[in-house]
Structure formats: C-alpha cells, structure tokens
Structure 1
C-alpha cells in the first residue's frame, strides 16, 4: 500500500482495511455462522433490544470517568506515537466523521465477539469466573502488540466490562463505554498532536 499510494495515503488505507477486516472477522462472519448453527438466541449472547436503568447508570458513570482519564492519558508521548491511528497532518471534518464511524463499526464487531459470543459461551462451558479470567486474558493479549502498557491497562477494564456484562445480561455497557474510550482517545490525541490539526 505504501509503494502503491505513497507513505501517508498508504498508511491511511492500511487503517481503513484493518477496521473493515475487523468488522468482518469479529462480527459479520461469526454472526452469520452462529445464526445458522447456534442453539441459543441472540439474548443468550447479551444482544438484547432494550436498556435498563442499571445499564444506563453504568454507561453514564463509566463514560464520565473514561473521558476524564483519557483527557490526561492522551497527552502521553507513547500514546501520541500511536494515536490517532490515521497519521494525516491535516484532518478534514469528513475524515473525523468517517474515522469515528469506522471505529464504531469495528467496536460493534469487537464487543459482539469478546463480551458477546466468547464471554457467554465460556460461562456456559466453564462457569463465571473461569470465563471472566479467560476472556480478560485474551482481551489483554490482543492489545499487547499495540503497546505493552495498553495490554496491562486492558486487564482491569476487561475484568470490569465482563462483570458488568454478566450482571446486566447485555453487551451495551461494554460497547458504548468502548465507543467513548476510543473516540475520546482519538479526538484528544488529535488535539494534542503538535503536527496535526482539523481543517475546514
């Protein structure tokens, strides 16, 4: 991609491809396969059409904490080396929008896999706490290639999201908090990057 489109455009296209592939491999393909073979309903994997007050309280409370913490952690040099993932120096509002939308689509698939299919399947196979430990371990390991610090940070977040998901029977808290975390990190990182800016 870099050879074909140049360093900047090649890197950007690589990010788009990664997110699209993630949507397919984490979400679309497993959902299609499980739709045909699974013995359980979507609700048995935490996909339910409604949100209880308990879910809303968790979403609001955790979102406030996540935004506050991200506003500080996004300034760190090791974070700015990686984020925003798209390394374009001038971001149009259109790019901000499409990057956010692609993040959200990717994370729908991601949470459907981790806190949906895997977590609830592990609970049925191994019990609650073994399922939480296995799920959190996988979740942490997936983050290690990005950054060792990110892999360690994924442990408490993964544990908390697993517990909340099982308590509420829904993936909504994990999904929306993950949206807030990723978008806040992208936007704060964009703000703090000395050589990046949003243009008209």
Structure 2
C-alpha cells in the first residue's frame, strides 16, 4: 500500500477548473457555517428577548435567522463567485427563466409537490416534530406573524437552494463532472440536516439526489426552490395547527 501510494503522480498545480471547484465548496462551507453560528448564537437570541416581549421577540429572532440564511447562504456566496469568475452570469448559477425547460419544470414542481405535501402534513403532526416546529414559538400568532413566517421560509429557502443547487452544483458539474458534483452536493446537503435528527438526515439524501438531477436537467434552481417551499410551508402551518400551546387568532382548535 505504501509503495503504491508513492507511485501516484502528485501535481499541486491549481488550474482554473480546480480553483472554481474549490471556491464553490468553500463558499458553501463558509456561507452555511456563518449562518449556522449566527442562528444558534445565545447572545443574539438573548438580545432579542431582552429588547422585546416574548411573542414579538420570538418572531423577530426567527425572521433574523431566516434573513441571515438568505444573505450568507445565497447572496454573499453568489456575489463572491460572480466577482471571482466574471465570465459566469446569474443564469449560469441557475437564476434564469429558460423557456425550453419551462414545461419540464412545471410538471416536476407540481408532481413533487403533490407527493411531498401529504407526507409533510402527516409527519408534521407528530409530537417529535412539534418540539421544533413551528419555529416561531410565540404563544399567540396574529396575521402579521403568520405571513412573516411564510416570508421568512421563502427567503431562507431561496438562499439555501441558491447555495446548494446553484453556487455549488453547477460549478462542480462543469469542473468535476456530473456524478462527483452530485455526490459532493448530497454529502454536504445531508450533513446540514444532522442537527435536525436522523430522519431528516436520511431523508435529505434521496431528496437531494432527485433535486440535483432535476436542477441539472432544467438548468435552474426553481424546481428545488418551489418544492422545498411547499414542503416547509406545509410542515410549518400543520405544526401551527396542531401544536397545543401555540395558537393563531384566525384558527379555531
């Protein structure tokens, strides 16, 4: 084994393809890590709860974390790649409206949504899910909290999918090949679900595979984004409906 290892030619030359792949991976690593530690900061959370009443603090803190996800996972990694690789456009990273794949995108978005929404609905009612959802732990939700919850999930997931299915996937597919790009994407995508438990971590692998393939075939991130939003909204609103201690003023339990 040692002799074999020494026979492998080692070339530390960094070409343009390697530079792009490494930059994309580090954008994903730094972007997600920064978001994660900001969202889990006890000091930041304490600041909100010191400044505002409980229910308002819950809403403002969670929306802050969603906005940080949008910024650190979506906007900043995208701007970094655009600045370092100016020949690439927004469309290259999956932000386009390709007419040739529009029907494909619509059919798969609808089909996957029909599949995942009932699954999310039934799993969201389980006690182990209600421990974490809805994420805004305000005891009483008004209409503003309701819509901020939806908006927060939408902007967060836009940043999330832009990072994994845009900034990370397309450059790696170009430089390393489709299957290595998908494998790296799934590994990092599943790893981000580890704090959410074994079920979500395992489930992220097949979902990540499907979303990567559909993203590459459609040439943009919209299927992944819209399906993920449908899943998150269903889970969040179902949890709101069935949580015994959290109430929305316009719903009767």
User: For this structure pair, what is the TM-score category when the shorter chain's length is used for normalisation?
Assistant: over 0.9
- The yes-or-no answer on 1:42 pairing with 2:42 is no
Q: Which moved more, 1:48-57 or 1:126-135?
A: 48-57
Pairing partner for 2:186 from 136, 161, 169 = 136
- Give the distance between the partners of 2:182 and 2:82, measured in 1 at CA: 24
CA displacement, residues 105-154 of structure 1 (integer Å, 9 cap, x when unaligned): 11111111100010011112221111111101101111111222211111
TM-score, normalised to structure 2, is 0.74
- Give the distance between the partners of 2:142 and 2:96, measured in 1 at CA: 36
What is the match of residue 29 of structure 2?
none
- Give the distance between the partners of 1:10 and 1:102, measured in 2 at CA: 15
Give the C-alpha shift of residue 10 in structure 1.
Answer: 4.4
Structure 2: unaligned runs, 5 residues or longer? 1-44
Does the CA contact (< 8 Å) of 2:55 and 2:140 recur in 1?
Answer: no
TM-score, normalised to structure 1, is 0.93
- Give the distance between the partners of 2:237 and 2:147, measured in 1 at CA: 11
Pairing partner for 2:220 from 143, 160, 170 = 170
- The yes-or-no answer on 1:103 pairing with 2:153 is yes
Give the C-alpha shift of residue 20 in structure 1.
Answer: 1.5
- Give the distance between the partners of 2:98 and 2:142, measured in 1 at CA: 35
- TM alignment of 1:27-176, pairs within 5 A: 27-38=74-85, 39-50=87-98, 52-176=102-226
- Give the distance between the partners of 2:222 and 2:70, measured in 1 at CA: 17
Structure 1: unaligned runs, 5 residues or longer? none
SS of match in other structure, 2:248: strand
What RMSD over aligned residues (CA atoms) do the two structures have, in Å?
Answer: 1.7
Give runs of ≥4 in structure 1 deviating > 4 Å: 5-11
Give the C-alpha shift of residue 194 in structure 1.
Answer: 1.4
Rg larger in structure: 2
